[in-house]
Structure 1
Amino acid sequence: MAKNKRLSTWLRSGVIEQNIKDTLKSTLDKLHSICPLNISRTSLRDSLHDNLYHDEAFRQNPAYKIIFNWFEASSQKTRSARPVAIFKKTRLYSSVVGQ
């Protein structure tokens, strides 16, 4: 839990504004390469996502708004790209029921 708090504090320290790139992936790659904590890219992405979605004051900075919009666009793309399985509903008939 302490590592998550340190990661959140590090993300709020202004490191994002200094290292923002053209895409979400390249920004996350850059942040991961300079992060002083031993964390995975997934942990970094999840922590940044949580900060952006759960703290509106954090999201007010223009650099953070750009990243927030990237997350929004990627979540919409992911939702529409998921395969959907449709199962035909069938009724079960039994002559034993009710006798």
Structure 2
Amino acid sequence: MTTDDQFIQYADRIIFVDENTASAAELLTWDLKTYLSNVVIVGRSTFGNGVGQKVFEDAKQRIMVYVVSHYWNVMRNNVSNLCITPDIKIKGKSLDSYMKQVR
């Protein structure tokens, strides 16, 4: 259990994203941005993957089942094919490109 004097206050929460940011990482980014006032997203637009799939296979019985699920953000919106647009856009792919924006 933590007490108030152990709680760390952050001025900003900075999340780095790019076109490879997908699925749960996108949901976490979206939800933090929705519910916290001090979140800044830096990078390039995300992948927009709001769909997951799982395959169950039984070769002996020749059965294969595909289960498709859609990810929903905390606002109960289906986020399939929706990219996150950063607050601060960058062009480079190096860590330094991101860190320049943070500094």
Please tell me the TM-score bracket, short chain as reference.
Answer: under 0.3
Kindly name which structure, 1 or 2, has the bigger radius of gyration based on alpha carbons.
1
Higher strand share: 2
Q: TM-score, normalised to structure 2's length?
A: 0.27
Higher relative contact order (CA 8 A, sep 6+): 2
